[in-house]
A and B are shown apart, each in its own frame.
Chain A
């Protein structure tokens, strides 16, 4: 087995042994069923996937980035604090290779948690509920996985740049607050108070991976202008649903690649 795969395997093992990740997966499996029950007024399987998915979207947009940001933020900083980073980098592996392997392992573990959490509940629903909206549920699971990847990428960048675990974790929480709460409020404020240009609104929707994921999720589940929010509504009206989805999907990919690339570049120049 190559050094890269050995590191990925170690990272997956570490992440899956984390109580946070297991707790997240089980909690979400339960929440899928709970939402199905609440939305259907007691009959768990009456409404099926569509309403359940819509209900879960907002919860996933809060929980998934928080988990991924925190795990990413601890990835390198904790190794540095333990001193194990020096032991790892004294082996014949490059810093870029180590960082990418850590990210890959972490992302695989997050995907597994998302798939397990939503997949388990989804499987139970699929057994008994109408399958009409199952494809939308799958898109939602894919979106959650993509958001986890982007958030982990930002977390890893914080982990590399801020060096201590405490600072990286605190910054991860701050970033999470900005991305999930303050950003949308600011966007609404801009939309309501300033006559913002189309370019500004377009940029605003691309500069937050959580907002991108939210708009994509709403487009997939229930493309309603009221639910899309000011940025989503603007994009859907101006560009149409298809191009908006394509543009936001590319933004998500950029949110995965850009922070990770910066993290690799910074990490390569750092002393251990």
Chain B
């Protein structure tokens, strides 16, 4: 569905992308991850044909440089800013973009309903929350039922429920045989929403592989905070025995330990099985830039 060959892009003296090549088959989801300035947005914008680039990008057999309009007919794009005209209502926005693609107003209504904004279709975009605006931008991207969805930081600004909904929507697209290229900072989401992952560092590909490998990557560690009234010491000793590689320690009223994405549930299960009640749980996500720096060091 998407082929990127030796993609390069320079901004004055800065090499934003250098020799990036990959393929995204039909019915697969590829997540592009990388720290700020790694080249994610430049890659995404190149695929959509919003910037000029070196190399070759082919979408569904169409060369993006030679025929950008035809290529964009096959692409649904969600920009990082989810920027839409603030003076239009939700319904007007969807209808406007549907008309640009020669689609009937009925399709615009369907997509607004699909992203759960039917109840606010008369509300102006300027009055929407950031999360709602992002959902509307997603509806715009879905209008033409394109074979390739290109989503730049789609989870940014979404609450937990909306992120779960986004995962479902992406899974539905994959089930329907559509391909999805997305960039994200949320490393822990990647194994749940993507089949494959591509890590960029300073414009170069430093890691490609199955997304589930990220679950085991030592770089992707969060800090798990547990409040255990009266039995903190018991919990610490139990966790140190059960997970010696994850040293639990006390921090005020909390028991804190570093965990990978797949280990959170097993920590809770270990405590509950031992009869130690957990009254509160908090997760401090790994800082994306730091985790990615470590990830690129681990998998050069």
Contact = CB atoms under 8 A, between A and B. Distances in A.
B6 interface: no
Contacts of B205: none
Minimum-distance CB pairs A-B, first 3: A83-B83, A90-B77, A271-B51
A89 B50 contact: yes
A92 B68 CA distance: 8
B241 interface: no
5 contacts: A6-B99, A82-B86, A83-B79, A90-B77, A271-B45
A99 to B, nearest CB: 15
Interface in B66-92: 68-70, 72-73, 75, 77, 79, 81, 83-87
Contact of B45 (A83, A86, A88, A269): A86
Nearest to A271: B51
A82 B83 contact: yes
A14 B99 CA distance: 17
B102 A3 contact: yes
Interface in A1-35: 1-3, 6-7, 10, 14, 17
Given A10-B96, A272-B51, A91 B101 contact: yes
A83 B84 CA distance: 8
B232 to A, nearest CB: 48
B84 A87 contact: yes
The size bracket of the interface on A is 20 to 34
A240 interface: no
B137 interface: yes
A93 interface: yes
Interface in A119-172: none
Contacts of A90: 48, 50, 72, 75, 77, 79
A89 B77 CA distance: 10
Given A84-B83, A89-B50, A271-B45, 17 more contacts: A1-B99, A3-B100, A7-B100, A10-B96, A14-B87, A82-B86, A83-B79, A83-B83, A84-B85, A86-B79, A88-B100, A90-B72, A93-B100, A271-B51, A271-B52, A272-B45, A272-B51
Given A6-B99, A6-B100, A83-B83, A92 B70 contact: yes
Contact of A92 (B51, B72, B85, B96): B72
Nearest to A82: B83
A271 B83 contact: no
Nearest to B51: A271
Contacts, number: 64
B85 to A, nearest CB: 6
B254 interface: no
Contact of A94 (B48, B68, B77, B85): B68
A91 B97 contact: yes
Nearest to B72: A92
Interface in B99-145: 99-102, 137, 140
A82 B101 CA distance: 22
Contact of B69 (A6, A84, A87, A94): A94
B69 A93 contact: yes
Contacts of A86: 45, 50, 79, 81, 83
A36 B59 CA distance: 64
Given A87-B137, A272-B45, A92 B83 contact: no
Interface string A67-91: 0000000000000001110111111
Contacts of A89: 50
Nearest to B75: A90
B75 A6 contact: no
Interface string B259-283: 0000000000000000000000000
B125 to A, nearest CB: 10
A10 to B, nearest CB: 6
A87 B96 CA distance: 12
A271 B50 CA distance: 6
A114 B222 CA distance: 63
A87 B88 CA distance: 14
Contacts of B81: 83, 86
A51 to B, nearest CB: 42
A84 B86 CA distance: 10
Contacts of B69: 92-94
Nearest to A14: B87
Contacts of A83: 79, 81, 83
Contacts of A88: 100
Contacts of A17: 87
B208 to A, nearest CB: 25
B100 A84 contact: no
Contacts of A2: 102
